[in-house]
């Protein structure tokens, strides 16, 4: 880890000192080079405390939750619900009833689409999204629109990858029933002003859903301050396991929504004549949950919270400044996504090579990045490109990682230029 710099105060830098040792995946050689992992926006690496928490479930408390009277089940249930409490605190929610475990942000947005939006929308209603959305915040609403006759309205993105608040305000109308936006763009790093968007939407009588998958690892979240109605995040972006996430929703909304799936644990009573539903949040948690995943996600939230967002943000600002300056010195490179308010994503194109070729040659140098459209094809269409190369930063990255990326890009140029 880099020593303290002017942009990384010494006290904050010390909180990240030695952090790389917590991530066992970094301790490997890839194609003859020490691994440089710059793909955290796709899936962040997992620290040992998270791995250990999950192993504890499998090695010691391997039992189902909520249903058993024996000790293993009781311990598993305690760990599972303690994770829910950790995540409630992590996002600033008022009540445990408002925190639903799901498979990830994609399932969370589909839950809102099918359980909140579909029963309420009709022809003439509108769902508003922006031009920077991940596919998981576009396709679920398209399915709802097909089923209900509602219309999907997209607020355009600017050339630098931003979405102007004035453009959002201009498109919100009395027909708008739902505004669903990314807190942070996965392809560009752009941060949207959620609180201001929520106030505009609520003034028009609309509900606000937020895709927080990319925000959770980088900026503090307080759903009460943001004033949104739904907020979703994924474990594997937050240094946790795959296949787990949460949907937070205001209690009144969740209470009024029908179950998304049916089966065990989401019921109170079952008879052939009809069934009744469990209390919140269990009404939305059908079947055996990803118990170890939930425990791992709780451990990941604890891990991030213990480091503190002040230290994380200062570290990432330093890396972003250093990385932006370094990439601008590479001949033929153009940065993609230069909004004034963004987090740790460096997207770019090279004039001499396709993004997939860039990624392949970088992999030969031990540098892992993501290439393609990043499940954000409307962004690429807006910019008139097939895709980008994306270096996304995490708490374990260093200036040396940026240097390795730049060396690799010069290797790309030697092949293609």
Catalytic residues: 375
Asked if 18 contacts 1 with a C-beta cutoff of 8 angstroms, the reply is yes
Written in H, E and C, the secondary structure of 214-253 is CCCCCCCCCHHHHCCCEEEEEHHHCCCCCCCEEEEECHHH
**In angstroms, how far apart are the furthest CA atoms of the chain?**
72
CA dist 374 and 346 (Å) reads: 13
Residue 26, Cβ density class (10 Å: 0-12 exposed, 13-18 middle, ≥19 buried) = middle
CA dist 304 and 90 (Å) reads: 9
CA angle 104–163–374, rounded 5-degree value: 40
User: CA-CA distances (angstroms) from residue 202 to 57, 199, 206?
Assistant: 42, 5, 5
Asked if 11 contacts 310 with a C-beta cutoff of 8 angstroms, the reply is no
Neighbours of 123 (CB within 10 A): 9
CA dist 65 and 69 (Å) reads: 10
Residue 173, Cβ density class (10 Å: 0-12 exposed, 13-18 middle, ≥19 buried) = exposed
CA dist 357 and 57 (Å) reads: 41
Total length of the chain = 417
CA angle 77–45–23, rounded 5-degree value: 95
CA dist 101 and 197 (Å) reads: 26
CA dist 104 and 82 (Å) reads: 19
Q: Which long-range contacts (CB under 8 A, 24 or more apart) does 205-208 make?
A: 205/174, 205/176, 205/177, 206/128, 206/172, 206/176, 206/177, 206/178, 206/179, 207/116, 207/177, 207/178, 207/179, 207/253, 208/178, 208/179, 208/180, 208/181
φ, ψ of residue 338 in degrees (nearest 5): -125, 35
């Amino acid at each position: 880890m880099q020593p303290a710099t002017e942009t990384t105060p010494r006290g904050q830098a010390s909180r990240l000192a030695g952090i790389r040792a917590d991530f066992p995946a970094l301790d490997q050689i890839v194609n003859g080079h020490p691994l440089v992992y710059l793909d955290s926006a796709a899936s962040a690496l997992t620290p040992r405390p998270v791995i250990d928490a999950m192993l504890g479930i499998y090695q010691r408390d391997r039992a189902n939750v909520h249903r058993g009277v024996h000790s293993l089940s009781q311990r598993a249930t305690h760990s599972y619900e303690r994770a829910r409490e950790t995540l409630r605190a992590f996002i600033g929610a008022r009540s445990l009833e408002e925190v639903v475990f799901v498979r990830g942000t994609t399932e969370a947005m589909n839950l809102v689409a099918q359980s909140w939006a579909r029963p309420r929308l009709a022809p003439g209603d509108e769902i508003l999204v922006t031009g920077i959305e991940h596919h998981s915040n576009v396709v679920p609403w398209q399915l709802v629109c097909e089923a209900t006759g509602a219309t999907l309205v997209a607020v355009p993105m600017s050339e630098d990858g931003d979405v102007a608040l004035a453009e959002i305000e201009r498109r919100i109308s009395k027909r708008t029933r739902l505004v669903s936006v990314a807190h942070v763009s996965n392809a560009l790093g752009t941060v949207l002003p959620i609180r201001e968007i929520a106030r505009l939407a609520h003034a028009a009588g609309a509900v606000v859903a937020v895709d927080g998958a990319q925000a959770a690892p980088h900026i503090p979240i307080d759903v009460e301050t943001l004033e949104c109605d739904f907020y979703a995040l994924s474990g594997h972006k937050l240094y946790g396991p795959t296949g787990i996430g949460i949907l937070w929703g205001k209690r009144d909304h969740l209470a009024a929504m029908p179950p998304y799936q049916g089966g065990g644990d989401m019921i109170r009573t079952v008879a052939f004549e009809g069934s009744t539903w469990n209390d919140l949040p269990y009404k939305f948690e059908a079947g055996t949950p990803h118990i170890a995943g939930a425990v791992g996600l709780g451990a990941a939230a604890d891990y991030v919270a213990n480091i503190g967002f002040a230290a994380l943000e200062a570290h990432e600002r330093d890396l972003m400044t250093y990385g932006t300056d370094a990439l601008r010195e590479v001949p033929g490179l153009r940065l993609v996504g230069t909004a004034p308010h963004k987090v740790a994503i460096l997207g770019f194109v090279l004039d001499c090579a396709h993004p997939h070729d860039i990624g392949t040659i970088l992999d030969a140098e031990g540098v892992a990045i993501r290439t393609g459209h990043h499940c954000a094809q409307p962004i690429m269409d807006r910019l008139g490109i097939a895709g980008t190369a994306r270096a996304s930063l995490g708490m374990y990255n260093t200036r040396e990682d940026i240097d390795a990326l730049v060396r690799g890009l010069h290797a790309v140029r030697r092949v293609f230029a």
